[in-house]
Amino acid sequence: MGTFYETIPKNLVAWILQQKVFWIASAPLSASGHVNVSPKGGQYFGVVDERTFWYIDLTGSGVETLSHLHEPGNGRITVLFNAFSGAPKIVRLWGHGEVLEYGTADFQAFVKKHEVNPIAGTRAVVLVHSSSCGFSMPLYDFQAFRTTLNDFFEKRVASEEAGKREDGIERYWAYKNSLSMDLLPGLQRGLETGKREAVKPITKMVGPLAPRAGPRRRRRDGERSRVVAMLVLAFGAGALVQACFMSSMGKGGCGG
């Protein structure tokens, strides 16, 4: 049975900061939307106080977490750490996420105050205002952090600084980070660049279940309306048949 705390215990902070990987979970408000779980690695996170955790959100091909945090009335997020060495331990932080996008005044103030050094590809700092904290993993030996993502976006940033917009990070954000899988708004900076430079966002889902003009719940509502219309039509046809039958029994024919 797990133990729950209203704040992050001090004895857990040091352990959290020693971890090499953690997971972020979030979801849209729509019941038919996609639940997202993303692994995060690298030494790009920290604990501000007993109720606040932060991490650097690096650029990737998706933008699910930021979209869910930006969604009005949403902001739900869970952070999970687990021990791969030593005694078994799983720690979850439940809370509300706040997005400080790269280049904004809030972003600049946070990284300056907490001496955070954003690396190439940083698109936001996510603050997790924790509401609660809760406590059989395999063992593994940590070797090193992968540099593939860092190397890729160092080139994108270098292209941006050299004036090569087509290969720069701003247009990458507009193309891949503007919308979520459920067509929720994603990175605000990407949306602004897309509108300004006419960059069409990538289509992330194809097929009959792909959202077309908004979150999937809208399409399901439309499908539900069509089903109701068909049921009403079927009921009307059945009533007509019954009326004809009763008429034929009394007068010798439908509409006699």
Q: What is the pLDDT of residue 255?
A: 43
By mean pLDDT, which of 55-64, 95-104, 209-218, 221-230 is the weakest?
221-230
Spatial contact of 9 and 133, defined as CB atoms under 8 Å apart = yes
Residue 205 has a pLDDT of 80
pLDDT tens for each residue of 237-250: 455 445 544 454 45
User: For residue 26, what pLDDT is reported?
Assistant: 98
Q: Greatest CA separation found in the chain?
A: 92
Angle formed by the axes of helices 169-176 and 148-161, to 10°? 120
Q: What is the mean pLDDT of residues 117-140?
A: 83
pLDDT confidence tier of residue 3, bands split at 50, 70 and 90 = confident
Helix (H) or strand (E) holding 94: strand 90-101
β-bridge pairing 21-26 and 76-82: antiparallel
Per-residue confidence band for 5, with pLDDT thresholds at 50, 70 and 90: confident
Answer for the pair 118, 111: CB distance below 8 angstroms, yes or no. yes
Instruction: Delineate the domains of the chain, giving CATH numbers in brackets.
Output: 4-197 (2.30.110.10), 218-256 (no CATH)
Q: What percent of the chain has pLDDT over 70?
A: 79
Give 229 or 110, the one with higher predicted confidence. 110
Checking if the pLDDT of 227 tops 70, the result is no
CA pair distance 48, 234, nearest whole angstrom: 62
Q: What is the mean pLDDT of the chain?
A: 84
pLDDT score, position 64: 97
pLDDT at 253 over 80: no
Reply yes or no on whether the pLDDT at 118 is more than 50: yes
Contacts of 142 (CB under 8 A, 6+ apart): 20, 84, 85
User: 3-state SS of 109-141?
Assistant: HHHHHCCCCCCCCEEEEEEEEEEEEECCCCCCC
- Give the list of residues 6+ apart from residue 202 with CB closer than 8 angstroms, or none: 175, 176
**How many C-beta atoms lie closer than 10 Å to residue 235's C-beta?**
10
CA distances from 189 to 103, 157, 193 (A): 9, 15, 6
Predicted local confidence at residue 133, as pLDDT: 78
In this prediction, residue 41 carries a pLDDT of 86
Locate all alpha helices (DSSP H) within 198-253, ordered by sequence.
216-251
| pLDDT band with cut points at 50, 70 and 90 for residue 208 | confident
Segment 71-94 mean pLDDT: 92
Mean pLDDT, rounded, for 126-153: 80
Q: Are 120 and 151 in contact (CB under 8 A)?
A: no
Structure tokens at 91: 């720690």
**Is residue 105's pLDDT more than 80?**
yes
Reduced to 3 states, what is the DSSP secondary structure of residue 54? Answer: strand
β-strands 90-101, 76-82 pairing:
antiparallel
Instruction: Quote the percentage of the chain above a pLDDT of 90.
Output: 61
Q: What whole-number distance in Å separates Cα of residue 225 and Cα of residue 232?
A: 11
Contact 61, 172 (CB under 8 A): no
User: How confident is the model over 143-185, as pLDDT tens digits?
Assistant: 788 888 889 999 999 999 999 999 999 999 999 999 999 999 9
Residue 4 has pLDDT above 60, yes or no: yes
pLDDT at 57 over 60: yes
Residue 234 pLDDT greater than 50, yes or no? no
Contact (Cβ atoms closer than 8 angstroms) between residue 247 and residue 256: yes
Q: How far is CA 235 from the centre of its chain?
A: 43
